[in-house]
Structure 1
Amino acid sequence: MDTIPYFLTFLLLIFSIWTFFEVKKHQNITSKKIAFIEIEIEKERNYESKLMSESEKIVDLEKNTQQQFLKIKIAIVNLDFTLQEIL
């Protein structure tokens, strides 16, 4: 009868030690996953900033193209007007 409490205490101690190591292992795995996710987020931020700069370049090119088209249209209208004056 006296050995049952000691046996239960021993089992509780073994279970506690096992639980402690499992929690530590789980924390290590979780911290590695979090570190990996942080690295991926940083890569995505860098990629986003690169895309934003490319987007700004595209907008600038569109503005320049529109201005050049307007200049060409004005030149055509001026040429047409001059041609009408000559005729």
Structure 2
Amino acid sequence: MHQQPDITKLQVKTLPVVNQGLIDAVDVVTSPDQPLGVWHLNGIPLAPIVRAYQNNPDDLAVIQEQCEVMLLNKQQQGQVVQWLIGQGGRF
């Protein structure tokens, strides 16, 4: 059963992931619904985005700045924003 999305419950943790056949320690985003963590969304690392959000909740400009630093195109930025909204973010 899925938990109600609550963006305030997102945490960034360093956990092991399989990366190109090797196990690496990587920053992932955990939540009550995803306790094992989510590393990336279609290749986009989520931890830097969540950290930016946590530093300035609900400020879309901060998220956009982080996306630009990560060299994400507009489509990728939209995917990230939609993911955040799905986690309970409000913009």
Q: Structure 1 length normalisation: TM-score?
A: 0.19
Structure showing the higher helix proportion among its residues: 1
Question: For the pair shown, which has the larger CA radius of gyration, 1 or 2?
Answer: 1
Q: Structure 2 length normalisation: TM-score?
A: 0.18
Structure number with the bigger relative contact order (C-alpha 8 A, sep ≥ 6) is 2
